[in-house]
Amino acid sequence: MSCYGCYKENTEGYCAGCRKKLFGGKRVSHVLAFDAPTAENIPAYQEKTKQLSISGVQLKYSVKLEGKELVLTETKGEYLLKPIPPRALIALQDQAPENEHLTMQIAKQLFAVPVAENALILFKDGTPAYITKRFDVKPDGSKQLQEDFAQISGKTKKNAGDHYKYNGSYEAIGQLIRDKVAASPPVLEVFFKLVLFNYVFSNGDAHLKNFSLVQTEYGDYMLSKAYDLMCTVLHTPTESDTALELYEGDVDSTFYKQHGYYGRPDFEELATRMFMVPKRAQHIIDTILKKQQEVSGMIEHSFLSSEAKERYVGSYTDKIKRFS
């Protein structure tokens, strides 16, 4: 058996390391004491529901730890719980929890991307869900100031339309980071790596609200831990490669005109426009592209179904080839 947090073998439930990071060392079960949302119990869930992405169909619920047990809560939530999305709205919907868990673990374990602590968890009936620890909640229960880039850029449904969170570019986010973050060069490198990671792992829903700044205890700002990373093409096969433009005029680049998709020259141009040191950008690109064997091994070792594993690997391999 593997750890439901990090895939460590010969582990029942969560390993000691994952228990420490997720639950402060408490022996929390990987099986919840309540059932997955159904038509019968949905009223109890709806009070704690917030709409999320994969085209607006995924739901998330607020959870807190009482003793050694996770319970649904309306206030003082410490975790977000994402069950399988409603049926018939997306492809392979039952694979969504492990898709997000796997993608977050690949980012963390193989590419050192700072991510929100997360794991797979089971409802009482055995149905899987994705659980993530809120990074904006301090140990004393108070909230850390967090603003996503839709908020920072001043875009709302009212002033920018229903698709406001898709109205922008990664270049523009980079400029906002330069404006808002005092020590911006290393933060821009992390952001650039995250944009590239999302492209290579087919996360086509990395919009303005999926990147945030958080205020530190010293009053300055830094990029938040990564969240909502998943291979969305498994569920929405016809979506675009990216939720936002890389930069203004990107589809007019020589490479894009020749191939109809982004490649290394386009990401190098993005790095240039964000005033990154060229050698650092090249290093980040090479780092993301060089661990194909490790990535394939981690996908194979995951809890995805055989069909989902095949599609995940196929999508990843296709993106890697685009950089050849």
State how far the Cα of 56 lies from the Cα of 166, in Å rounded to an integer: 13
Q: What is the pLDDT of residue 107?
A: 98
Q: What is the pLDDT of residue 48?
A: 55
Burial of 242 (0-12, 13-18, 19+ CB in 10 A): buried
Q: What's the pTM?
A: 0.93
CA-closest candidate to residue 128, choices 313, 298, 4, 308: 4
Q: What is the pLDDT of residue 50?
A: 46
DSSP letter assigned to residue 151: H
Q: What is the pLDDT of residue 47?
A: 60
- C-alpha distances in Å from residue 150, one per residue of 155, 156, 176, 239: 5, 7, 11, 21
Cβ-contact 71, 121 below 8 angstroms: no
H or E segment at 131?
A: strand 128-133
Q: What is the pLDDT of residue 53?
A: 43
Structure-token pair, residue 120: 């797979």
pLDDT (tens, 9 = 90+) of the chain, 324 residues, equals 899 999 999 899 999 999 999 999 999 999 999 989 876 776 666 665 443 345 456 788 999 999 999 999 988 899 999 999 876 568 899 999 999 999 999 999 999 999 999 999 999 999 999 999 999 988 888 888 999 999 999 999 999 999 999 999 999 999 999 999 999 999 999 999 999 999 999 999 999 999 999 998 888 899 999 999 999 999 999 889 999 999 999 999 999 999 999 999 999 999 999 999 999 999 999 999 999 999 999 999 999 999 999 999 999 999 999 998
